[in-house]
């Protein structure tokens, strides 16, 4: 893909993912134009100190909300690629403000799809989560619905060029609101809280997540859900790395939380293929040709990609090295 001829827009572009994606785009791919679309003027101001939008820069900052269809249509004019990362993602906040979660994560997804098709955007990739698989909380349910909208939304594109896909991955080490900053804060008090010592999670860095998104955009045909092959971590291993001297208080699994996460369910496995670095969940609808991904290998029957069954685990050394690379206080 000739990124230097592409105009790219990122919704939720001031978040942890958006900042890293912007860094990678500027360092490695040099797009013709890179639009940061978000609703927080303070975060845009802070990001502007790092990535200036001077006349010689491809970066532009747009204030806007994915709930506002008209603003999206204005922002998408002349855009070739959209990365949809805007979402309400804190599980407790979504549980307490369910209508707001629906407005941003579901209605916002519909608005992005409609505006992209109407404005002739060529490729749209939405960022999803392992919480969307067999969801047990509202956040996961809204992201599952958003995934379905992006997959099925290709039917609305018809003969137009717009193609829509999703990428689904696990917990991002050090992202805002994640357990790593929490443990580092609690460490100063001499104890950390763990919901359940058996808990496992898929884990990757924000760099790996952003790089994966770039690869998916370059490969997508439309309708796929891309799942990276990433390692699993037990929560107690993270405690040993971040706060080895601290006492551990077990507080029990919180409402809407799972003991283990799943990124490809057994039902999805029937139309999932495997490549060296990822799994690809193919759509099962007649508008999608079967010629795509012929070089990939179908997964075995009964396959499930779950954090407690994942053969790829982080060692303590690898986990420590991963944490040391983070830009954390």
Contacts of 193 (CB under 8 A, 6+ apart): 186, 248, 249, 250, 251
SS3 292: coil
Contacts of 56 (CB under 8 A, 6+ apart): none
Which two tokens mark 124? Answer: 């749209």
Element (H, E) at 99: helix 98-102
Instruction: Classify 3-324 by CATH class.
Output: alpha beta
- Asked if 100 and 89 touch (Cβ cutoff 8 Å), the reply is no
pLDDT for the residue numbered 181? 77
Nearest residue to 226 via CA among 217, 239, 237: 217
What does each C-alpha distance from 301 to 156, 264, 270, 295, 307 come to in angstroms? 32, 12, 7, 18, 18
Place of tokens 């790089």: 211
pLDDT for the residue numbered 183? 84
This prediction's pTM: 0.92
pLDDT for the residue numbered 243? 85
Q: Which residues are catalytic?
A: 131
Mean pLDDT of 164-187: 82
Asked if the model's pLDDT at residue 313 lies above 70, the reply is: yes
77-88 in b/e burial notation, b at 16+ Cβ within 10 A? eebbbbbbbbbb
Which two tokens mark 189? Answer: 């008090």
DSSP string, 101-143: HHIIIIIHHHHHHHHHHHHT-SEEEEEEEGGGSS--SHHHHHH
pLDDT for the residue numbered 308? 93
More confident call, 182 vs 30: 30
Mean pLDDT of the chain: 92
Contacts of 20 (CB under 8 A, 6+ apart): 206, 207, 209, 210
Q: Name the DSSP class of 178.
A: S
Pairing assessment for the beta strands 200-204 and 232-234 based on DSSP bridges? antiparallel
**pLDDT tens string 228-279:** 999 998 989 888 888 888 889 898 888 778 899 999 999 999 999 999 999 9
Q: Name the DSSP class of 191.
A: E
**pLDDT tens string 185-238:** 888 888 889 989 999 999 888 899 999 999 999 999 999 999 999 999 898 988
Query: 207: left (phi > 0), else alpha (psi -120 to 50), else beta?
Result: alpha
pLDDT for the residue numbered 274? 96
Least confident of 96-100, 105-109, 257-261, 269-273: 257-261
pLDDT for the residue numbered 310? 92
pLDDT for the residue numbered 328? 56
Which two tokens mark 83? Answer: 């990365």
């Amino acid at each position: 893909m000739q990124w230097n001829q592409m105009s790219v827009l990122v919704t939720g572009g001031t978040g942890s993912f958006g900042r890293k994606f912007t860094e990678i785009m500027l360092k490695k791919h040099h797009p013709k134009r890179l639009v940061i679309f978000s609703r927080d003027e303070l975060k845009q101001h802070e990001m502007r100190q790092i990535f200036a939008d001077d006349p010689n820069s491809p970066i532009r900052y747009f204030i806007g909300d994915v709930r506002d269809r008209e603003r999206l249509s204005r922002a998408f004019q002349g855009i070739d690629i959209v990365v949809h990362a805007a979402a309400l993602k804190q599980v407790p906040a979504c549980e307490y403000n369910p209508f707001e979660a629906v407005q941003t994560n579901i209605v916002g997804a519909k608005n992005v799809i409609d505006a992209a098709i109407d404005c002739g955007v060529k490729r749209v990739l939405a960022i999803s989560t392992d919480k969307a698989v067999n969801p047990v909380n509202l956040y996961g349910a809204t992201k599952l619905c958003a995934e379905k909208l992006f997959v099925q939304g290709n039917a609305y594109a018809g003969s137009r060029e717009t193609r829509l896909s999703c990428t689904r991955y696990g917990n991002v080490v050090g992202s805002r609101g994640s357990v790593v900053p929490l443990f580092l804060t609690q460490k100063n008090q001499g104890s950390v809280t763990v919901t359940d010592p058996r808990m496992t999670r898929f884990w990757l860095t924000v760099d790996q997540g952003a790089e994966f998104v770039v690869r998916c955009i370059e490969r997508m045909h439309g309708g796929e859900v891309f799942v990276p092959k990433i390692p699993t971590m037990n929560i107690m291993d993270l405690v040993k790395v971040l706060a080895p001297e601290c006492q551990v208080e077990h507080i029990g699994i919180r409402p809407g939380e799972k003991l283990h996460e799943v990124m490809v369910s057994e039902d999805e496995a029937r139309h999932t293929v495997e490549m060296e670095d990822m799994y690809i969940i193919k759509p099962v609808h007649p508008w999608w040709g079967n010629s795509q991904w012929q070089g990939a290998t179908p997964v075995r029957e009964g396959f499930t990609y779950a954090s407690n069954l994942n053969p790829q685990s982080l060692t303590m050394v690898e986990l420590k090295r991963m944490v040391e690379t983070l830009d954390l206080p």
